[in-house]
């Protein structure tokens, strides 16, 4: 048996494939365009009989048709996406193309493939669309966490493009009967995350004794889920979820960004003290907040817990400590992804040198 995964060279895709195969899962065909945030080295050790990498664009209908016909996957896990809010503000077009047109293209190709399947393949087929809690917008400080019934109120080009994908996926279930499953997760962290995102950016800059740029007052609250917990949730939904349903996956770990940074710095103060007794937190600098910055996200995972038995296994303190240690002890990986393009992005975004 085979599953088709899109975006498998990215952070969540890499961890999903590694977890899937470690659990004895099906062979994976991995479709990824291998853009700046994708890293084939993450998966290069996998045997070819278990993992086939295909470089290609999810907007390429002909390629999608060919992969579905040739490999006859039992499921499609659609993780490919442009995902960095900051980049969506400065360049929204690629987000519309990948996250909306790419999702539409893949849904159309999958629908055509699925409609031609014989039973029982047709009944057992699944399409998993991986989305984000950001489609729900921003929560007030005392508001209850997002549920699957929360209104869709995206506030950035990124979240709006993912919300459009949500609506497309839902419509393909309602209109055509395609067995679609949708998930929304809270902020992920863990190994292999590209260091444009908050936690790896702070860890890598602190290790290099560079400024730690904090947007605005740093009081933006996020619910953090370790990526290994998230991909366990995805596997549960793919294997046991009810077609047409949406499932939210959170980490039970709400924390303000400035407090997350304080925890990272405290871990590094013990693991790798700075010279002269200086604290890593002394490197923090507050920079102009980004436009439309959501103040709070929080996810209610009660449905996922009650129906599929999901509970996060990582506490935030333990998961964060393990993540700091991973980046600290994998300098070659960090060097491989912090290319000239990455350094140029940092200079543009935060006016940071080096």
Mind telling me the catalytic residues?
Answer: 133-134, 158
Cα separation, 102 vs 157, in Å, equals 15
- Buried (b) or exposed (e) across 254-268, using 16+ Cβ within 10 A? bbbbbebbbbbbebb
By CB neighbour count within 10 A (0-12 exposed, 13-18 middle, 19+ buried), where does 31 fall? buried
Cα separation, 60 vs 106, in Å, equals 9
φ, ψ at 164 (rounded to 5°) = -60, -40
Strands 254-256 and 221-226: antiparallel
φ, ψ at 285 (rounded to 5°) = -135, 135
CA-closest candidate to residue 316, choices 196, 205, 223: 223
Cα separation, 95 vs 101, in Å, equals 9
Cα separation, 23 vs 204, in Å, equals 31
- Buried (b) or exposed (e) across 317-353, using 16+ Cβ within 10 A? eebbbebbebbbeeeebbeebbeeeeeebbeebbebe
φ, ψ at 99 (rounded to 5°) = -80, -25
- Element at 18 (helix H, strand E): helix 11-22
Ranges of H-type helices in 116-213 = 121-124, 157-176, 198-207
One DSSP character per residue, 206-254 reads HHTT--EEEETTS--EEEEEEHHHHHHHHHHHHHHPPTT-EEEE--S-E
Cα separation, 255 vs 269, in Å, equals 20
Neighbours of 306 (CB within 10 A): 9
């Amino acid at each position: 048996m085979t599953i088709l995964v899109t975006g498998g060279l990215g952070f969540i895709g890499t961890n999903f494939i590694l977890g899937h195969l470690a659990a004895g899962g099906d062979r994976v065909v991995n479709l990824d365009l291998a853009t700046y945030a994708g890293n084939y080295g993450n998966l290069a050790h996998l045997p070819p009989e278990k993992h086939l990498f295909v470089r290609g664009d999810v907007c390429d209908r002909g390629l999608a048709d060919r992969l579905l016909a040739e490999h006859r996957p039992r499921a499609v896990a659609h993780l490919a996406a442009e995902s960095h809010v900051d980049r969506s503000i400065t360049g929204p077009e690629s987000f519309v193309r990948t996250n909306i047109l790419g999702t539409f293209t893949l849904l159309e190709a999958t629908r055509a493939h699925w409609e031609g399947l014989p039973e029982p393949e047709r009944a057992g087929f699944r399409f998993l669309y991986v989305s984000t809690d950001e489609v729900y917008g921003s929560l007030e400080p005392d508001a209850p966490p997002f549920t699957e019934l929360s209104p869709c109120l995206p506030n950035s080009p990124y979240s709006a493009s993912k919300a459009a994908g949500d609506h497309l996926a839902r419509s393909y279930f309602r209109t055509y009967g395609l067995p679609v499953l949708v998930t929304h997760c809270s902020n992920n962290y863990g190994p292999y995350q590209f260091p444009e995102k908050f936690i790896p950016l702070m860890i890598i800059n602190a290790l290099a004794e560079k400024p730690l740029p904090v947007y605005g007052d740093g009081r933006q609250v996020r619910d953090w889920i370790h990526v290994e917990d998230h991909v366990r949730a995805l596997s549960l939904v793919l294997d046991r979820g009810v077609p047409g349903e949406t499932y939210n996956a959170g980490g039970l770990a709400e924390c303000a960004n400035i407090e997350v940074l304080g925890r990272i710095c405290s871990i590094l103060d013990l693991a790798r003290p700075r010279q002269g007794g200086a604290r890593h937190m002394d490197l923090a600098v507050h920079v102009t907040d980004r436009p439309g910055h959501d103040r709070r996200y929080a996810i209610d995972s009660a449905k996922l817990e009650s129906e599929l038995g999901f509970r996060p296994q990582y506490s935030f303190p333990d998961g964060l400590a393990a993540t700091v240690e991973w980046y600290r002890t994998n300098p070659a990986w960090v060097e491989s992804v912090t290319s000239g393009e990455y350094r140029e992005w940092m200079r543009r975004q935060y006016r940071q040198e080096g």
